[in-house]
Amino acid sequence: MPINLDTPKKFVQLRDQAHQVAMNMLRPISRKYDRAEHEYPKELDMLAAMIDGLESSGTSSGAGATGVRRTEDGGTGNRNGTNMSSVLGVMEMCWGDVGLTLGMPRQGLGNSAIASVANDEQLERFKGTWASMAITEPSFGSDSAQVATTAVADGDHYVLNGEKIFVTSGERSDSVVVWATLDKSLGRAAIKSFVVPKDTPGLKVERLEHKLGIRASDTAVISFTDCRVPAENLLGSPEIDVKQGFAGAMATFDNTRPLVASMAVGCARAALDLTRDLLAEAGVVVDYDRPALTQSAAAAKLLQLESDWEGAYLLMLQAAWMADNRKPNSLEASMAKAKAGRVGSDVTLSCVELCSTVGYEEHELLEKWARDSKILDIFEGTQQIQQLIVARRVLGLTSAELK
């Protein structure tokens, strides 16, 4: 089935609206909330209400993370659905500001997890919640199979115990999607995700982290002590299927990793656009119709960065398109995330270098974008983990065979 890599016509308006929001609402307050870390951006409430209105009216779909869900009806033909609209919308929003986009009410990565694996009843019940996602623990980072937080069945509840770190929107959200194991001895297959309301006894936000970038987004440490969660809050099936292994939990990543790739692509695009303008002001004009070797070193470098960006952008589109068309996309999702994560860091740092003192000082946002972009190469699976997943898929090896 061929893939048309032009922006689908039905999403052009969404993309353009997101770009206008990024330019007129996010960019003007970007530096303010970078400096005021942990202060809640009240301007996001109005923006979130606007997005809610667009989605409820059907005018827009998938403007944020909540739009990610695979189509269930198995239709034929080339489908561009919520995964494609989400990556296009998020890309434009992150052109404005990554931290503010991550801090958008009801658009958290936990919402993507709910949309990815929840059943229809749960989708309806958790509609409108703002969900953060709690995976990482003090004892591990990207190897999610090492989850040590436990969930023990007790009547019609599960009792959760453990600690989660680096929880995006962990303080501001009103619920947390917590990854926990039902039986550590059964390995990956026993890992399930639970929606835990923030007012649940035993859930405690321990502290907020001070970070290199995305300072407009709060990042929390959360502990769970005998935290009782209704059994119906377990997302998907409660059955432990050893044959399926970690596939159920990984379905979340297959949908969220293209989203993270779109964040990196958007941030990198912002840096390239501004750098091109600043170079032009300095008399360096980039000619896209001439070979790079016939142009100045600065112009040649920008052309190389543009080429790298294009590769990340196309991989992001491919991964989202495959999800919309119900094709297994674990390989492509990891490829997109790995490429975009690295390109985001390389592009933003290179743009700082190209613009010299202007790039390094706070007069422009280039140095901020360089700081913001680094996390996009780390969370939702580091660069190294993505390369490992890609190698396993390409070579046909299991996680036990290739570590």
Distance, CA of 74 to CA of 94 (rounded, Å): 32
- Distance CA(383)–CA(361), nearest Å, equals 28
Three-class DSSP category at 214: coil
Could you tell me the two tokens for 266?
């958007």
Give Cα separations from 52 to 59, 92, 303, 342 (angstroms). Answer: 10, 18, 39, 32
Please, what's the b/e burial string for 204-233 (b: 16 or more CB within 10 A of its CB; e: otherwise)?
A: ebeeeeebebbbbbbbbbbbbeebebeeeb
Residue 354: closest CA among 296, 395, 402: 296
Do residues 20 and 42 touch, judged by C-beta distance below 8 A? no
What is the DSSP code (8-state) at residue 200?
A: S
> Which of 209, 361, 380, 401 is labelled catalytic?
380
Report the half-sphere exposure of 153 (CA within 13 A, side-chain side).
12
Distance, CA of 106 to CA of 54 (rounded, Å): 14
Contact by Cβ (8 Å): 196, 167 = no
Question: Would residue 380 show up in a list of annotated catalytic residues for this protein?
Answer: yes
- Strands 157-168, 219-230: parallel, antiparallel or unpaired by DSSP? antiparallel
The span from the CA of 357 to the CA of 377, in Å, is 25
User: So which residues are the catalytic ones?
Assistant: 380
